[in-house]
Structure 1
Amino acid sequence: MAKKNTVLYLMLIPGILLTFIFNYLPMGGLIIAFQKFKPWLGFTGSPWVGWDNFRLMFEREDSLQVIGNTFAIAGLKMLSNLVVPIVFALLLNEVRQMFFKRAIQTLVYLPHFLSWVILGGILLDMLSSQGLINGMLLPVFGIDRPIQFLGDGNWFRAVVVASDTWKEFGFSTIVFLATLAGINPAWYEAAEVDGASRWKQTLHITLPSMIPIITVVGTLSLGNILNAGFDQIFNLYNPLVYDKGDIIDTFVYRIGVLSGQFGLGTAVGLFKSFVGLVMIVTAYRLAYKLANYRIF
């Protein structure tokens, strides 16, 4: 069997090498979190400071602020990206015209493939003071004063969550549509014979059948609780919304790369990775306990 699959094993080599080079080899740089790192001195010449960078991380007010922002934005995204695809899948499942159904599914699926560089530019134009929303749509409803969507922290969070949901819910819907396609049609036929309406069938057949996959998707998303979306935030935020929109990834970029505080930036990133590891392990344990889902 091993000889038969030799070619397949050889095909894995480029992927393994790329993973090692870009994911495992850079982990040696985590030593910077315990140093007052100076690029001209390198890893071996930079002075060792132990846990000072981690202590500084928790003493800085902006560090605690970005951790809270990350949890808040990621949590809202997780909730929205779970509820909206479920509701949309249920509604789309009721469409009987296959051409219309596939057309809608394709349209909501396409934004997933657009980068945040493109979408960020579009949103910046649409949500500016003279953009489409403030310049044309709001005056129709009698709102003459422009809303600072990207200049007010509370509005910024709403824009971030809403735009991320719009971009990703079509892709997430596929999982739930596949679950709906696997439900035994005989159950619906028996329910119709008993006089159950479409709402009753959804309530007593469709939703209970979706609970296992909802549990799996919901629990596994806990592993991304600290991934609030660097690409999206970086392309949309500005100093006016740092108090509500700055997250760990953008904070590490500003502190570590732009400000040259490499030790502090690495310490914050290492803290995020550690918490993410704990959340991923917890999520898989919950998925196994609640839905008997496991990879290994």
Structure 2
Amino acid sequence: MKAGISRKMEWSLLLMAAPFILLVIAFNYVPLFGWVYAFYDYKPGIPLADTPFVGLKFFKLALEDGSELGNIIRNTLGISALSLLISPLPLILAILLSEVRSKLFKNIVQTITTLPHFISWVIVFSIMFSLFSNDGLVNQQLLNWGWIDQPSNPLSDSSIAWYVQTAISAWKTVGFSAIIYLAAIAGIDQEQYEAAKVDGAGRFRQILHITIPGSVQTYLVLLLLSVSNMLSNGFEQFFVFFNPMVSEKLEVLDYYVYRVGIQSADYAYSTALGIFKTIISIALLFTVNFISKRTRGNSIF
């Protein structure tokens, strides 16, 4: 009887997961059939059967396109490196929230920090433009107070474009990312804290010797996944913040694939770039997984 109930429960859970499995297959695996366009000199409006087969032509073209693609790769890796540098921020926020005794204050802070995640990038751009443009609120207030002589627009300053976008991305994502660490901290055995209190450890020492070691495993897993995903900065953020003043610094690989494939209708070349990106990301994933296994004794998978 118990075995029958257990099997019934297993089938119930499988059926509950089925719609999500189908969505993953539909949006992540079915599009892989489009990789065939990278091997044909495809032009819009011409059937693929009537398109000449060119083999690895566009892959060779991507490798030979050193000047423009080199700058794009540099932008992509530079912004990803800055994102890795600020990756401890969600963990720090989660630790601070876990130490707050007032449940009301904790809920208010968590709501405020999580809310930007649900705001679209178009709205984020509108907010930032209203605040930091030459006629924005920040410049007007600083001019009224006499702190500056002329307005400045950080959204159009190429020298700090990477840092501005990293700060905006952090504002949008840190609160939501902290939820994972809050769950990890909640899973730490509370008896460890009780034992630490008995031994005379204060709150700082409890954080240092219990909370951080208890959540660092989650942090390392997410960090390794971020390293393997360094070629993916996202598209929406750079699409809305892209302008001629910062184009040299904000044209990342995802935006470049869009520009080549959609705006220039060069589907074959853009598909080849997408395949290159996928292969390199998979290689990075297996590399960091191997390094983790050799250095830490365990791995992601």
CA distance in 2 between partners of 1:186 and 1:16 (Å): 38
Aligned length in residues: 294
Deviations along 1:103-154, whole A, 9 cap, x unmatched? Answer: 2112111111112122122222222111122222476472233223121223
- The 3 A distance-change label for structure 1 pair 9 and 75 is same
The question of whether the paired residues in 1 share the 8 Å contact of 2:44 and 2:265 is answered with no
Distance in 1 (alpha carbons) for counterparts of 2:300 and 2:10: 25
1:228, CA displacement in angstroms? 0.6
Give the one of 73, 80, 85 matched to 2:79.
73
1:248 deviation in Å? 0.8
Partners of 1:121 and 1:244 in 2: how far apart?
20
Secondary structure of the residue aligned to 2:156 is coil
1:181 matched residue in structure 2: 186
Residue in 2 that maps onto 1:261: 266
Which whole-Å CA distance do the structure 2 matches of 1:113 and 1:141 have between them?
Answer: 36
Letter of the aligned partner of 2:269 in structure 1?
L
Q: Out of 63, 68, 86, which is 2:69 matched to? A: 63
2:228 to 198, 202, 223: 223
Q: Is the contact made by 2:72 and 2:251 (CA closer than 8 Å) also made in structure 1?
A: yes
Q: Deviation at 1:57?
A: 1.8
Q: Aligned pair in 2 of structure 1 residues 264, 294: CA closer, same or farther (>3 Å)?
A: closer
Contact 1:215 1:287 survives alignment (8 Å)? no
Cα distance in 2 for partners of 1:97, 1:4 equals: 39
What is the 5 A alignment of 1:1-296? 9=14, 14-60=19-65, 61-80=67-86, 82-137=87-142, 140=145, 142-285=147-290, 290=296, 292=298, 294=300
**2: CA distance between counterparts of 1:141 and 1:169?**
33
Shift of residue 280, structure 1, vs aligned partner: 2.8
Alpha-carbon separation, structure 2, partners of 1:155 and 1:189: 47
Cα distance in 1 for partners of 2:31, 2:200 equals 63
SS at structure 2 position matched to 1:142 = coil
TM-score, length-normalised on structure 1?
0.87
Cα displacement (A) at 1:98: 1.6
Shift of residue 287, structure 1, vs aligned partner: 5.4
Alpha-carbon spacing, 1:138–1:247, altered in 2? closer, same or farther (3 Å)? farther
**TM-score between the two structures when normalised by the length of structure 2:** 0.86
C-alpha displacement of 1:205? 2.8
Alignment partners' CA distance in 2, 1:136 and 1:191: 49
SS of match in other structure, 2:201? coil
1:216 and 1:291 in contact (8 A); partners too: no
The 1:15/1:179 distance shift into structure 2, 3 A limit, reads closer
Q: What is the CA distance between 1:269 and its match in structure 2? A: 1.2
1:136 to 1:59, Cα distance in 2 relative to 1, 3 A: farther
Secondary structure at the counterpart of residue 226 of structure 2: helix
Q: Structure 2: give runs of 5+ residues left out of the alignment.
A: none
1:108 counterpart SS class: helix
Paired residues of 2:79 and 2:162 also in contact (CA < 8 A): yes
Do 1:153 and 1:243's aligned partners in 2 also have CA atoms closer than 8 Å?
Answer: yes
How far has the Cα of 1:76 moved from its partner? 1.5
CA deviations 1:56-95 (Å, max 9, x no partner) are 2233211121112111112222331x21112212222222
Query: What letter is aligned with 1:123?
Result: M
Mind listing any 5+ residue stretches in structure 1 that lack a counterpart?
none
Q: Alignment RMSD, CA only?
A: 2.6
